[in-house]
């Protein structure tokens, strides 16, 4: 029995969220490690230890980002087109920063030259911090509304600028993103390395955790009292053929709080964010980084779900013409496309989960300086 169109639209909103969470928890860990690399590794051998904790995994983890991008392209083509035209330079900045990662991992240790290796260390730092910052800034701008409108042919026109994206609230959400991923990376290094690197990583966990909690709370307060939300007041049937021009949207001071008021269970998401991060720091202090890493992942999940629950059904609200906002009900592909993609996701997402779990299981050990020295030609 085929799934209803309305149900499929909601399923794909959930699935895209799952892909972003998978990316943040797995590849975000790699970016956090990259951001910490120049500070936790005091010499070449220590930095090679740090790199080797993520070297076997980073490219597999990046599958989550590639899959999320492909899912947006296929399930929400108008969102993909509008986002990549409006956030073009920001996306290029993140993409160019990500280029440092594969080249840095593969080429850093090919030449035993301190200047060469130091340059790639900072390249890996850029490849970790800049994308995390850009993704956080993007979410901050989505919450404020993006300056775009659609013409009668559904062609998007972005009327903002790159520098306009760097507004105070968006920069704050960018800090939340960088801090939470670096916290995740610090817990990973505390778990997967031996002293002295593990001890240094542990020392970073508490300040990064407190920074994430404080900025997440500040962003929530700012969003509640200083930023208007969006609210759909009328639209066609939810199973109708998508047309973003046929609904009515208003700007409402309580817009981003409506779902929390109407569905109190959604309050568990911010609670999960705060509790996960807080207990992750506590576990690190108690020298239980494995449990801390799991809790950190739950905290990241809570933060992303907090934003998703607040915005639903909005995907990309328009500050220029609210009626042109793109939402989960009218920015989607056809019923057939969503159906085919749904069954593909049912098959392939479990495969991704299985092989990701298997690779971590097979390579689960502490990486030591002695191991790097003994396997110099094999290590990164």
Token pair of 173, please? 């959400």
pLDDT, residue 377, reads 61
Average pLDDT rounded to a whole number, residues 247-251: 91
Identify the CA nearest to 283 among candidates 175, 178, 190. Answer: 190
CB atoms within 10 A of CB 55: 20
pLDDT, residue 374, reads 81
DSSP state of 331: S
Residue 148 pairs with which residues in a beta bridge?
158
Residues 121/33, Cβ–Cβ less than 8 Å: no
Question: Per residue in 200-229, pLDDT tens?
Answer: 999 999 999 999 999 999 999 999 998 999
Alpha-carbon distance 15 to 173, whole Å?
23
pTM over 0.85: yes
Angle at 349 between CA 346 and CA 353, to 5 degrees: 135
Alpha-carbon distance 197 to 202, whole Å?
9
CB-count exposure of residue 111 (10 Å: 0-12, 13-18, 19+)? exposed
> Does residue 1 carry a pLDDT above 80?
no
Average pLDDT rounded to a whole number, residues 291-319: 95
């Amino acid at each position: 029995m085929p799934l209803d169109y309305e149900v499929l639209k909601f399923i794909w909103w959930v699935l895209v969220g799952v892909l972003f969470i998978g990316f943040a928890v797995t590849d975000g860990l790699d970016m956090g490690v990259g951001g910490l690399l120049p500070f936790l590794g005091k010499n070449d051998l220590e930095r090679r230890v740090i790199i080797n904790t993520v070297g076997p995994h980073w490219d597999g983890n990046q599958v989550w980002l590639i899959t999320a991008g492909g899912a947006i392209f296929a399930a929400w083509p108008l969102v993909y087109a509008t986002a990549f035209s409006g956030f073009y330079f920001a996306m290029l900045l993140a993409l160019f920063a990500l280029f440092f990662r594969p080249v840095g991992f593969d080429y850093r240790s090919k030449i035993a030259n301190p200047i060469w290796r130091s340059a790639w260390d900072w390249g890996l730092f850029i490849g970790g911090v800049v994308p995390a910052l850009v993704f956080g800034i993007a979410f901050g701008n989505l919450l404020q509304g993006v300056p775009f409108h659609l013409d009668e042919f559904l062609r998007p026109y972005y009327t903002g600028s790159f520098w306009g994206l760097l507004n105070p609230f968006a920069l704050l959400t960018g800090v939340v993103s960088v801090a939470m991923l670096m916290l995740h990376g610090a817990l990973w290094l505390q778990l997967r390395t031996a002293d002295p690197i593990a001890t240094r990583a542990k020392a970073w966990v508490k300040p990064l955790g407190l920074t994430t909690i404080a900025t997440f709370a500040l962003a929530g307060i700012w969003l509640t009292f200083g930023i208007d939300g969006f609210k759909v007041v009328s639209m066609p049937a939810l199973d109708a053929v998508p047309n973003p021009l046929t609904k009515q949207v208003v700007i409402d001071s309580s817009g981003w709080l409506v779902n929390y008021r109407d569905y109190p269970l959604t309050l568990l998401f911010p609670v999960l964010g705060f509790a996960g991060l807080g207990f992750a720091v506590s576990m690190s202090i108690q020298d239980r980084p494995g449990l801390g890493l799991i809790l950190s992942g739950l905290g990241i999940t809570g933060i992303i779900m907090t934003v998703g629950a607040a915005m639903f059904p909005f995907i990309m609200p328009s500050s220029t013409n609210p009626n042109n906002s793109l939402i989960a009900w009218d920015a989607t592909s056809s019923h057939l496309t969503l159906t085919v993609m749904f069954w593909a996701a049912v098959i392939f997402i479990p495969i991704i989960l299985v092989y990701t779990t298997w690779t971590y299981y097979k390579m689960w050990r502490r990486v030591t300086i002695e191991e790097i020295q003994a396997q110099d030609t094999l290590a990164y």
